[in-house]
């Protein structure tokens, strides 16, 4: 299967981390293609930054998603979700929703460990939108400024492991989610040091979209994730305009 | 006060409706400037269309919002909210959140009357995000295809009035919200025919931002609505880039 | 417009604070009349005290509310709400619901700063009833006994400012509500010292009822906020009895 | 034990129904005294009417509650609750909360059958306040005007039985609550005709307060149900003023 | 009335505590019979242990419940609930649900004091299932290993009293529930030392089932607590098989 | 990988359906072993039947789960979950939670189509426990009695397809879950006839446990899904007793 992975951050160093972890996580037959958003910010921390990144993600989904079997949006916080699901006929999944789905099977309550305090409000929105706030034990985050977005793991590994222990001991977490693409791949390195299962967004995302492709559940031609009804548009790229021009909606949502 | 009103839809016919109602609703000293999104779709009905409209709204906020005393985003569903609140130092409010705040003071439970069935999922998200789902009595909508977005009021006035009666009689609504910029101004025409208070997003939005400007509650320099921490960005317009380059964040969210 | 402001506490010193802030907040054309409850307690802190204050508020609404364009119930906790909305044909709003509606437009999560610990349970009820508990970051309160209800601001200004900083730094508040009529007017004095917008119940209440009057959304003749169906009553004042004798209920709630 | 039962409605015909059912339900050693509110309305249907009834109930609790072992407030909707719990040192319970507690042990989801449509909004508030909305299958009500409040049972018995069947067959109720003091005693007459357990507020209330008295759980001298902190008051009856003057609050809520 | 009390733990020392408290709590005419689970663990702390205990409880209910007027399942966490309610025609109640129902009448928010940290996740499930999470102020627990399950009260009385004070002072509890059958009877000994009402599961359970028997609300022949529809079964004891073979389901749930 | 699939129903005909679908869904390297509960009922429809089935499932997990890489509990409603997760060091997943996790990635709201009305209460519990009630559009079910549990698909295929259309058109479902092991494999046959993605519990379960095994998130040695603390037990099978005797709990949950 062909998996299109999109880094909504403009940081190539993060794209490298994502790409490496996606390839480690992929099944033998999966071909991973990773793309980086052409516009936006180095590292999405806020709702505004997510909003500004979403159109660049949409552009890549529109241009290349149709040739893939599934699309993975690889920034925690899931910029553009769930709207991007309307864009193409293949599954489009964010790493947060994939991580939450995965964590939900490994325990009853989970916590999120994040790399900045400002980012936690946006993550909380994401868990709310998933309907899983009652299963969220806590969100804890680093408090120190980052030296560089590509080196968070090496700079803060011990702090992050300590936070993971804290959420288990003090907040009642059964599962820990290491959140944020800059932490891609760290879970497999520290899992043996943690007393509960640990989930990485990128590998959980790859596993979940592979599962969806294998299940072949069918395409949304009705409901809120079907293509939008055709209507005039302006100022959109040819790829986006083409997606919007060919809706599949049927009776059910007319 | 200077009020910048933004139509996130690209339809000039809707902009005219919005502008007229905003001027009717504005206090004597308020100067209304109305802008239309330069890219997006004729009428936003889905999460995807909202996502595609948001950057055009953000662009206008970034370019002109700083010269206004407040900004009103005039599409029901509030494209770009609450992220847009981070962009400038003046209040940025969506007509949905304004209508919900207004309705919440007029009764205990409210219903939304909408112009298409597809749009209701997106509206429901909006009420959820506001935390007010427990006060939502129902969402009812037209089911017939629209003849044109600028003529919904004249084409469907009686159907909309009937839906408003239905939500009171069958769903337990104490207040009716006529949702969608294409219905701008209709509330004041039909209020006398309805047995409960009726709220129009545009006029509620104007009233609410005027209230906020008068209250002068201060600017967010911390918390999740402050400017994002400064970081590299790419591919953004000069106006947006300028906004992101000058954050006001202080100790509290570092 | 004529605005009737009612202090549900029997304290004239608090009435003075309320009246002064209401006049500062009112638009040029608004005529503010402030009344004090004739029975009840010096400062409402509990559900019981609220219950005992409500009939005195209802009495004033019944006697004078019909001559006003709107009524503002000026004790945080909103004694008598939402029942008082059934009493007259003009908007009757409490300062808590007005402050919550206002805060909901200024940020995503808000905190309440209160003047006694005992009062917080009652405030929590109020936020629950508004459906906004998911947006409540925290309630923090003074812990020391008050020297006098009319001098809380001067006696505890620095403590209250510190609590406001605490809810931003530790609880994730985007907005701070300074709660309680004894704090009337303090928000405008300390706003510049706080890193997030700050909301005062009295001025938010004045702004909100002015907005409602301008919007003219119509009267509830059906639904749960319409006048009660006519029936026998006893022991009520002539003004209250008159209100109950002339219901406007129509088909929808028969 | 001495049980004080208070009818918050001014209708003596309803008091008779309440009194008869309370005596049928009481254990051998229980002495039932029933009082009728001296002011208010014939039959409480709305939040406003509940608010107007509450002080008359409070007056009776203050004057006679201290001589009883427990107090039962016998109008569905629980006027004055939970504030009245602060007033005396013995348990003060409403028939709604008692019926809900009882129903919660007999099944997973319950429905309420009510005697007027207008009353349902107020009942819904009550279930919300109890936190049990997720267990409420439905509220269904009579739609026809009542001939007289004391004859609802005879006038509408078959309609009420049909509504009880409807909530089981269509709404998923495991338990039916026949709501409203005017239905006092009807449950025991129709239980054999219903396919699920049926709960009557009055008898459930008597059983619950008897249980509380036997359990002797102790008095609230802290927390939100303790007596309010002493403060000035005015315009209250001597009995109420005496209750407020002698608080038992201790360290925990100072 | 005949009351069958079942200890789902295999510990006879706990059975003794339960039996003694049940007899102290029972009304004069109540005959208490106490049984101990024949299989399971010494003290149920987890969901798995609860699951393993449930069939032994079901066996006793099936074998002896039909001869009783009510059944009380006497382990906090209510192993087998609410499924066991389907088994016989008499009320089957767990001590947790009984304690929660009782506490809900004594205050607005309650806390649970537990004897081990591990047990708290299971208790939290129980409160969630009851729908009462919004009224749960907190769960606090002992942290030290137990010396023996039959001696928890004497070994940790002062720690438990301190925890009870903590939930009132720091968490906002109006009522304290001393949770776990090993604490049976302790509430009546320490009530005078606590500033809020205190609830014991065993005595609350006895009082509640006595109330239900007196109320005679009728049996579930429809809804989700009726006997299951008849179908093949295997490997069940004769008593259980007999219960499953004689369903009472009627039209409503066919 | 070795996957142990357990049918909690005693019906061999259902086991055949489960086994066939599990093998169709499994990846090439997965070895599927399917077991049938030795005690319980032909088809679990109620909470009681689930409770009676759980120990037979636990017995199989204890006896054979340790030799597998993952365990799938193949009855919708997830008998024994989440308690069974405590039993062995490999992932133990129910088909309901797997279907919900899968559906949550395919759309925003989902509906469940079930084969009997009685079963829906139990399914609703399951969705509640997962925290996903806000994303449940509806549960619809067959109403006719089943001819035989192994032939539901052939007997009712068209009715089930119609129900699937109904939930999309009337209830707002973006995804349909065909619930119940007797429907195993039907989703892949009818997907092309439905306007939205359709999820089958068995194949979703296989895909999810394969994903978990590949992710290797680590084992719970703390938190609420770790092995229970060691304690006396009685009457358990040697396999179960052995599991309970060798806990892995560490500091975090002591």
pLDDT above 60: residue E254: no
Pick from C101, C194, C216: which is nearest to B105 by CB?
A: C101
Pick from C121, C128, C133: which is nearest to E172 by CB?
A: C121
CB contacts < 8 A (A, C)? 7
pLDDT above 50: residue C8: yes
Q: Which D residues in the span 201-220 are in contact with C, Cβ-Cβ below 8 Å?
A: none
User: E139-156 pLDDT, tens per residue?
Assistant: 999 999 998 898 999 999
B120 CA: distance to closest CA in chain F (Å): 9
pLDDT above 50: residue B45: yes
Q: Are residues E147 and E67 in the same domain?
A: no
pLDDT above 60: residue E165: yes
Helix axes C95-106, C119-130, angle to 10 degrees: 60
Q: How many Cβ atoms from other residues are within 10 Å of residue B159's Cβ?
A: 16
Question: Which runs of E-coded beta strand occur in A44-115?
Answer: 70-73, 92-94, 110-114
Domain-ending residue, one of F183, F201, F219: F201
* Main-chain phi, psi angles of B73, to 5 degrees: -95, 115
**What's the pLDDT score for residue E252?**
36
Range of the domain at D29: 2-96+206-253
F63 band by pLDDT with thresholds 50, 70 and 90: very high
Domain count, chain F: 2
User: Residue C174 has which token pair?
Assistant: 């985007």
**What's the pLDDT score for residue E251?**
37
Helix axes B47-64, B119-130, angle to 10 degrees: 60
Q: Are residues E74 and E103 in the same domain?
A: no
Mean pLDDT confidence for E54-67:
96
Sign, CA dihedral C55-C57-C63-C65, equals negative
Pick from F175, F198, F225: which is nearest to A108 by CB?
A: F225
- Tell me which residue of D150, D162, D229, D182 sits closest to D74, measured CA to CA: D182
Q: Does F239 touch chain E (CB under 8 A)?
A: no
User: Residue D164 has which token pair?
Assistant: 């009880």
Q: E109: which chain C residues are within 8 Å (Cβ-Cβ)?
A: 121
Q: How far apart are the first and last CA of chain D?
A: 33
Residue of B nearest to D117 (CA): B172
Q: Does F46 touch chain E (CB under 8 A)?
A: yes
Q: Are residues C233 and C141 in the same domain?
A: no
Residue at E254 is within a domain: no
Residue at F229 is within a domain: yes
Q: Are residues C224 and C177 in the same domain?
A: no
Residue at B254 is within a domain: no
C250 band by pLDDT with thresholds 50, 70 and 90: very low
Q: Are residues D143 and D90 in the same domain?
A: no
- Cα gap D184→D203, rounded to integer Å: 8
| B83 DSSP 8-state letter | G
Buried b (16+ CB within 10 A) or exposed e, C78-108: bbbbbbbbbbbebbbbbbbbbbbbbbbbbbb
**What's the pLDDT score for residue F245?**
84
- Cα gap E105→D72, rounded to integer Å: 11
pLDDT above 80: residue A194: yes
Q: Which helix (H) or strand (E) holds B54?
A: helix B47-64
Residue of E nearest to F142 (CA): E254
Q: Are residues B82 and B124 in the same domain?
A: no
ipTM: 0.96
Q: Are residues F84 and F101 in the same domain?
A: no
E51 vs F39: CB contact, 8 Å cut-off?
no
Q: Pick from A121, A127, A130 the residue to mutate for testing the C interface (most C CBs within 10 Å).
A: A121
**What's the pLDDT score for residue A250?**
41
pLDDT above 50: residue A254: no
Residue D201: helix, strand or coil by DSSP?
helix
**What's the pLDDT score for residue D247?**
59
| F111 DSSP 8-state letter | E
Residue at D220 is within a domain: yes
Could you tell me if C181 and C17 are in contact, meaning their C-beta atoms sit under 8 angstroms apart?
Answer: yes
* Main-chain phi, psi angles of A47, to 5 degrees: -60, -40
User: C96-153 pLDDT, tens per residue?
Assistant: 999 999 999 999 999 999 999 999 999 999 999 999 999 999 999 999 999 889 899 9
Q: How far apart are the first and last CA of chain A?
A: 33
Q: Which residues contact F231 (CB under 8 A, 6 or more apart)?
A: E41, E42, E43, E45, F244
User: E191-225 pLDDT, tens per residue?
Assistant: 999 999 999 999 999 999 999 999 999 999 999 99
- Tell me which residue of B76, B58, B89, B40 sits closest to A53, measured CA to CA: B58
Q: Which helix (H) or strand (E) holds D34?
A: strand D31-36
Q: Are residues C8 and C81 in the same domain?
A: yes
Q: Which E residues in the span 77-116 are in contact with D, Cβ-Cβ below 8 Å?
A: 82, 85, 91, 93, 97-98, 100-102, 104-109
Q: How far apart are the first and last CA of chain F?
A: 33
Q: A134: which chain E residues are within 8 Å (Cβ-Cβ)?
A: 128, 133
- Tell me which residue of D225, A169, D78 sits closest to E176, measured CA to CA: D225
Residue at B41 is within a domain: yes
Beta strand B233-234 with A40-41: parallel, antiparallel or unpaired?
A: antiparallel
Q: B109: which chain D residues are within 8 Å (Cβ-Cβ)?
A: 121
Q: Are residues F79 and F32 in the same domain?
A: yes
Token pair 């400064």 is found at B230
Q: Which D residues in the span 3-32 are in contact with E, Cβ-Cβ below 8 Å?
A: 25, 27
User: Residue A229 has which token pair?
Assistant: 């009804």
C64 CA: distance to closest CA in chain B (Å): 20
Residue at D75 is within a domain: yes
> What's the mean pLDDT when you consider all of chain E?
95
Mean pLDDT confidence for E36-49:
96
Domain-ending residue, one of E182, E201, E220: E201
**What's the pLDDT score for residue B252?**
36
- B/E Cβ contact: 3+ pairs below 8 Å: no
**What's the pLDDT score for residue E89?**
95
Buried b (16+ CB within 10 A) or exposed e, B86-106: bbbebbbbbbbbbbbbbbbbb
C176 CA: distance to closest CA in chain E (Å): 22
Distance, C-alpha F201 to centroid of its chain: 6
Overall size of chain A counted in residues? 254
Q: Are residues C108 and C46 in the same domain?
A: no
pLDDT above 90: residue E158: yes
Q: Are residues C85 and C113 in the same domain?
A: no
Helix axes F201-215, F12-25, angle to 10 degrees: 50
- Cα gap B213→B227, rounded to integer Å: 19
pLDDT above 50: residue F221: yes
A172 vs E128: CB contact, 8 Å cut-off?
no
Q: Does A120 touch chain C (CB under 8 A)?
A: yes
> What's the mean pLDDT when you consider all of chain F?
95
F248 CA: distance to closest CA in chain B (Å): 39
Could you tell me if B155 and B146 are in contact, meaning their C-beta atoms sit under 8 angstroms apart?
Answer: yes
User: Residue D64 has which token pair?
Assistant: 């006679």
Weakly modelled stretches of chain D, pLDDT under 70: 246-254
Could you tell me if D178 and D113 are in contact, meaning their C-beta atoms sit under 8 angstroms apart?
Answer: yes
Q: F216: which chain A residues are within 8 Å (Cβ-Cβ)?
A: 188, 191
User: Residue B185 has which token pair?
Assistant: 């101004």
Cis peptide before C82 (omega within 30 of 0): yes
User: A113-158 pLDDT, tens per residue?
Assistant: 999 999 999 999 999 999 999 999 999 999 999 988 989 999 999 9
pLDDT above 90: residue E25: yes
**What's the pLDDT score for residue E247?**
59
Residue at F110 is within a domain: yes
Domain-ending residue, one of A185, A201, A217: A201
Residue at D222 is within a domain: yes
- Cα gap E159→E147, rounded to integer Å: 14
Q: Which F residues in the span 137-166 are in contact with B, Cβ-Cβ below 8 Å?
A: none
Q: Does E251 touch chain F (CB under 8 A)?
A: no
**What CATH number did the domain enclosing B112 receive?**
3.40.50.12500
pLDDT above 70: residue E114: yes
pLDDT above 70: residue F109: yes
Residue F228: helix, strand or coil by DSSP?
coil
Residue F94: helix, strand or coil by DSSP?
strand
Lowest-pLDDT range of C239-243, D246-250, F185-189? D246-250
Could you give the C-alpha distances from B220 to B245, C175, C208, in angstroms and in order? 16, 8, 21
- Tell me which residue of A187, A52, D178, B61 sits closest to E218, measured CA to CA: D178
Q: Are residues A10 and A65 in the same domain?
A: yes
- Kindly report the three-state secondary structure assignment for every residue of chain E: CEEEEEECCCCHHHHHHHHHHHHHHCCCCCEEEEEECCCEECCCCCHHHHHHHHHHHHHHHHHHHHHCCEEEECCCCCCCCCHHHHCCCCCEEEHHHHHHHHHHHHCCCEEEEECCCCHHHHHHHHHHHHCCHHHEEEEEECCCCCCCHHHHHHHHHHHHHHHHHHHHHHHCCCEEEECCHHHCCHHHHHHHHCCCCEEEHHHHHHHHHHHHHHHCCCCCCCCCCCCCCCCCEECCCHHHHHHHHCCCCCHHHC
Could you tell me if B233 and A42 are in contact, meaning their C-beta atoms sit under 8 angstroms apart?
Answer: yes
């Amino acid at each position: 299967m062909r998996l299109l992975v999109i880094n909504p951050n403009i940081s190539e160093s993060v794209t490298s981390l994502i790409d490496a972890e996606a390839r480690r996580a992929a099944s033998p037959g999966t071909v991973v293609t990773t793309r980086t958003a052409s516009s936006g910010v180095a590292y999405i921390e806020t709702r505004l930054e997510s909003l500004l990144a979403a159109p660049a993600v949409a552009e890549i989904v529109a241009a290349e998603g149709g040739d893939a079997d599934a699309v993975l949006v690889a920034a925690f916080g899931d910029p553009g979700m769930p709207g991007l699901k309307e864009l193409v006929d293949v599954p489009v999944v964010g790493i947060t929703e994939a991580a939450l789905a995965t964590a939900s099977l490994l325990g009853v309550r989970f916590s999120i460990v994040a790399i900045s305090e400002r980012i936690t409000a946006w993550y909380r929105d994401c868990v709310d939108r998933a309907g899983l706030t009652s299963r969220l034990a806590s969100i804890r985050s680093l408090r120190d400024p980052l030296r560089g977005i590509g080196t968070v793991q090496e700079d803060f590994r011990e702090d992050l492991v300590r936070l993971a222990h804290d959420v288990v001991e003090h907040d009642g977490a059964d599962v820990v989610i290491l959140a944020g693409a800059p932490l891609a791949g760290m879970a497999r390195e520290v899992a043996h040091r943690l007393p509960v299962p640990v989930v990485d967004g990128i590998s959980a995302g790859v596993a979940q979209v592979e599962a969806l492709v294998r299940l072949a559940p069918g395409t949304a031609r009705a409901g809120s994730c079907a293509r939008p009804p055709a209507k005039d548009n302006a100022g959109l790229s040819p790829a986006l305009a083409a997606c919007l021009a060919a809706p599949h909606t049927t009776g059910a949502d007319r």
